[in-house]
């Protein structure tokens, strides 16, 4: 028998997997165990680093404010948080004091020591912590995994971690936690920072007390922390909510309500270009355009099976003519009714329907965020009805369609995620064989692309597994974009059939796909990906004419009119501003082309181009300029410099 300290001498190893289960390095293993090292820079290692830093934060809070009561403190993407019940909200000065105290604890090299305790022992030791006592009562799976970050969910063990002073061997602080943790606080190093404070309801319910949540980030080194902070600064510059106001694209009027955007004329141009593109591409790919209403009787969502799972996130029902109606939260049930409107033959399959369907979801105000999380969204929603034998080919066809679309919009760095069911949950409908067949189809098609395929166990919809395309933007952030879902449940619920070649009636497979996912969300992602400098074909204003002096306005105006006639969104700036101010104004508005003309251009029948980066190309003949602009629009090119235009 040995422990992890004896097995691994590499200082980057901070924990281990024993027979697939994460364990502290202090855990004892036998020769029969399968043991794998967990390094601090691995996904598991980062989570352990951040979880340990969250506990140091909690210790620091109670050191500075002994009356503070502990909530939970899990690791999250790129960081961690911890919730506290305190008399007064945390201030910036409080965070400075906590930062100093955390640094002291980290330098002290306190050891994280795991102890197994009974429920009664845990209650006695944590009698002053009401929220921990509640978690002890939830042991056994009654709460979500996030709520139970400090409890062995569904397990028999409760564990407390002691922070032990290495000099005296005394416990200086303790917390109910399932772990694992770093061997020592010293391994946290200096790659962490406290970020911000927010209010949060205990266990996410508005019926519970409101706590104070402190967010932080943690990385294996100071350099990685600085790189992360730089990414945050760049992300702030690209925030689509900020750019939406600066570029006059969209807004969120309080009079309408949270999460319900309105698109201004310039934003409307971008949205229309997106819609025109995807409508044309769907037709080219064999889809038929349909349209369904925004409201329907509740029975439709009962047939589809959605209502039990989605009722809490749907807008409240309305009583009309003795029936209960809902604003639709998804389009697929009503497209099923179009399929069912008459008999179908196998000769019609694959049968592909597509619509711009606006759906409504009652997201909590705390999670609504700009265009990326809204309450009213428009999906480019399509459904393919196929025979089981046609399903693999249709999934392949859809995935190729999606990847081509994303590339046309300038997103070309992605991987795939395969969402499957949780076999221990009764949420997922259908037989084991149906799930196995559907999952195998999606997996084989996804693997055939050569892209990385990441598992997402338990992330499937109740009616079938899903492939989602995860795209990385210009600064490396990952966004979930398009989805393909294999559905064998809804066709059964709606009694969908087709007549096979032998005259028998069979049930089709239904394959859901959304290319943008949501037009609003895709718009927000594109805005941040391009930092508002959209490629020419999407830009609301593609070209602005700026005369060197007023006398050249008629000449340049004629060029602008010629461009308009060629379908270019061109404008002539006839304001009283000086030329340099006009250039600054339209540069800030991210206009792709500024067309400038003075005496030399007028005499030669030419124009001069100024590009987004300030470079210029002078003396381009007007006919050549018009043709080059038309070409880069047709090719969907991103023009930033003079070199890009050549």
Domain harbouring 295, CATH code: 3.30.930.10
Among candidate residues 230, 254, 286, the one where a domain is terminated: 230
pLDDT recorded at residue 10: 84
User: Is residue 235 assigned to a domain?
Assistant: no
Same domain, 552 and 525: no
Same domain, 595 and 479: no
What pTM does this model have?
A: 0.85
Q: What is the domain range of residue 173?
A: 40-230
The predicted model gives 227-253 an average pLDDT of 95
CATH code of the domain containing 560: 3.40.50.800
Annotated binding residue 383: yes
Same domain, 122 and 189: yes
The predicted model gives 624-644 an average pLDDT of 89
pLDDT recorded at residue 156: 59
Among candidate residues 529, 551, 581, the one where a domain is terminated: 529
Domain count, the chain: 3
pLDDT at 16 over 90: yes
CA distance 566 to 419: 46
Same domain, 490 and 554: no
User: Is residue 250 assigned to a domain?
Assistant: yes
Same domain, 132 and 181: yes
> 342, 341, 297: which is closest to 323 by C-alpha?
297
Same domain, 488 and 596: no
pLDDT recorded at residue 1: 67
pLDDT at 490 over 50: yes
pLDDT recorded at residue 289: 95
Which has the minimum average pLDDT: 203-207, 286-290, 531-535?
A: 203-207
Of the pLDDT bands very low, low, confident and very high (cuts 50, 70, 90), residue 504 is very high
Annotated binding residue 177: no
Q: Chain-centre distance of CA 161, in angstroms?
A: 34
Strand partners, 484: 467, 513
CA distance 218 to 109: 17
CA distance 86 to 68: 5
User: Is residue 46 assigned to a domain?
Assistant: yes
pLDDT recorded at residue 205: 84
Same domain, 212 and 299: no
CATH code of the domain containing 73: 3.30.980.10
Same domain, 401 and 513: yes
pLDDT recorded at residue 321: 87
Which has the minimum average pLDDT: 134-138, 160-164, 592-596, 631-635?
A: 134-138
Same domain, 188 and 87: yes
Half-sphere exposure of 155 (CA within 13 A, CB side): 15
pLDDT at 430 over 90: no
CA distance 326 to 294: 9
pLDDT at 149 over 70: no
Among candidate residues 230, 260, 292, the one where a domain is terminated: 230
Same domain, 519 and 385: yes
On whether the CB atoms of residues 71 and 131 are closer than 8 A, the answer is: yes
User: Is residue 282 assigned to a domain?
Assistant: yes
Query: pLDDT tens digit string along 402-429?
Result: 999 999 999 999 999 999 998 877 788 8
> 217, 600, 219, 281: which is closest to 409 by C-alpha?
281
pLDDT at 11 over 90: no
Which has the higher per-residue pLDDT, 312 or 466? 466
pLDDT at 308 over 90: no
User: Is residue 507 assigned to a domain?
Assistant: yes
Catalytic machinery residues: 332, 361, 379, 381, 383, 466, 512
On whether the CB atoms of residues 399 and 451 are closer than 8 A, the answer is: no
Same domain, 192 and 261: no
Separation of first and last alpha carbons in the chain:
70
Annotated binding residue 332: yes
Of the pLDDT bands very low, low, confident and very high (cuts 50, 70, 90), residue 432 is confident
User: Is residue 1 assigned to a domain?
Assistant: no
Mean pLDDT score across all residues of the chain: 92
Same domain, 79 and 220: yes
pLDDT at 141 over 90: no
Q: Are strands 79-85 and 21-24 parallel, antiparallel or unpaired?
A: unpaired
User: Is residue 166 assigned to a domain?
Assistant: yes
Query: pLDDT tens digit string along 518-549?
Result: 999 999 999 999 999 999 999 999 999 999 99
Question: Looking up tokens 């970050």, which residue turns up?
Answer: 149
What DSSP letter does each residue of 416-481 carry, written as one string?
EEEEE--TT-S-S-S-HHHHHHHHHHHHHHHHHTTS-EEEEET-SBTTB-EEEEEEE-TTS-EEEE
pLDDT recorded at residue 139: 60
Strand partners, 596: 546, 608
Q: What percent of the chain has pLDDT over 90?
A: 83
pLDDT at 274 over 60: yes
User: Is residue 25 assigned to a domain?
Assistant: no
Query: pLDDT tens digit string along 159-188?
Result: 999 999 999 999 999 999 999 999 999 999
């Amino acid at each position: 028998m040995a422990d992890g300290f004896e097995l691994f001498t590499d200082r980057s190893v901070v924990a281990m997997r024993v027979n697939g289960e994460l364990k502290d390095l202090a855990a004892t293993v036998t020769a029969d165990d399968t043991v794998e090292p967990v390094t601090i820079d691995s996904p598991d290692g980062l989570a352990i680093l951040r979880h340990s830093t969250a506990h140091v934060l909690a210790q620091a809070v109670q050191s500075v404010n002994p009356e503070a009561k502990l909530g939970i403190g899990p690791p999250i993407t790129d960081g961690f948080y911890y919730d506290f019940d305190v008399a007064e909200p945390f201030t910036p000065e409080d965070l400075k004091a906590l930062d100093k105290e955390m640094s002291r604890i980290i330098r002290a090299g306190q050891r994280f020591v795991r102890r197994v305790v009974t429920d009664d022992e845990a209650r006695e030791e944590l009698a002053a912590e009401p929220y921990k006592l509640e978690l002890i009562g939830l042991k056994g799976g009654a709460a979500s995994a996030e709520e139970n970050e400090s409890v062995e969910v569904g397990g028999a063990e409760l564990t407390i971690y002691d922070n032990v002073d290495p000099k005296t061997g005394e416990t200086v602080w303790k917390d109910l936690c399932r772990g694992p943790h770093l061997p020592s606080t010293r391994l946290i190093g200096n790659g962490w920072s406290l970020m911000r404070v927010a209010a949060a309801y205990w266990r996410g319910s508005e019926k519970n007390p409101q706590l104070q949540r402190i967010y932080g980030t943690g990385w294996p080194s100071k350099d990685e922390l600085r790189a992360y902070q730089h990414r945050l600064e760049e992300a702030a510059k690209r925030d689509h909510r900020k750019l939406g106001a600066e570029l006059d694209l969209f807004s969120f009027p309080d009079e309408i309500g949270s999460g319900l955007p309105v698109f201004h004329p310039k934003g409307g141009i971008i949205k229309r270009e997106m819609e025109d593109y995807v409508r044309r591409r769907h037709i080219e790919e064999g889809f038929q355009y349909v349209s369904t209403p925004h409201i329907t009787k509740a029975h439709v969502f009962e047939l589809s099976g959605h209502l039990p799972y989605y009722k809490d996130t749907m807008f409240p029902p309305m009583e009309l003519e003795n029936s209960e109606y809902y604003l639709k939260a998804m389009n697929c049930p009503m497209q099923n009714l179009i399929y069912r409107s008459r008999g179908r033959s196998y000769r019609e399959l694959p049968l592909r329907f597509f619509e711009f369907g606006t759906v409504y979801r009652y997201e909590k105000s705390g999670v609504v965020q700009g265009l990326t999380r809204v309450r009213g969204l428009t999906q480019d929603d399509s459904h393919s009805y196929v025979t089981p034998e046609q399903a693999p080919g249709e999934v392949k066809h859809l995935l190729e369609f999606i990847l081509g679309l994303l590339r046309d919009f300038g997103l070309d760095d992605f991987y795939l995620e395969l969402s499957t069911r949780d076999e221990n949950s009764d949420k997922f409908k259908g037989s084991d064989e149906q799930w196995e067949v559907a999952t195998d189809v999606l997996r084989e098609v996804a693997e055939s692309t050569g892209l990385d395929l990441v598992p997402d166990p338990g992330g499937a919809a109740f009616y079938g597994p899903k492939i989602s395309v995860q795209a990385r933007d210009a600064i490396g952030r990952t966004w979930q974009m398009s989805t393909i879902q294999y559905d064998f449940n809804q066709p059964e619920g709606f009694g969908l059939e087709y007549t096979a070649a032998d005259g028998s009636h069979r049930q089709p497979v239904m394959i859901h796909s959304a290319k943008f996912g949501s037009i609003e969300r895709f718009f927000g992602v594109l805005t941040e990906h391009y930092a508002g400098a959209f490629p020419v074909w999407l830009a609301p204003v593609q070209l602005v004419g700026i005369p060197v002096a007023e006398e050249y306005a008629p000449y340049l105006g004629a060029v602008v009119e010629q461009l308009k006639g060629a379908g270019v969104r061109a404008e002539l700036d006839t304001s009283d501003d000086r030329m340099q101010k006009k250039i600054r104004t339209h540069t800030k508005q991210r206009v792709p082309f500024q067309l400038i003309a003075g005496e030399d251009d007028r005499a030669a029948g030419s124009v001069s181009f100024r590009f987004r980066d300030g470079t210029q190309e002078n003396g381009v003949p007007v006919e050549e300029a018009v043709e080059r602009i038309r070409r880069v629009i047709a090719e969907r090119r991103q023009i930033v410099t003079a070199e890009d235009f050549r």
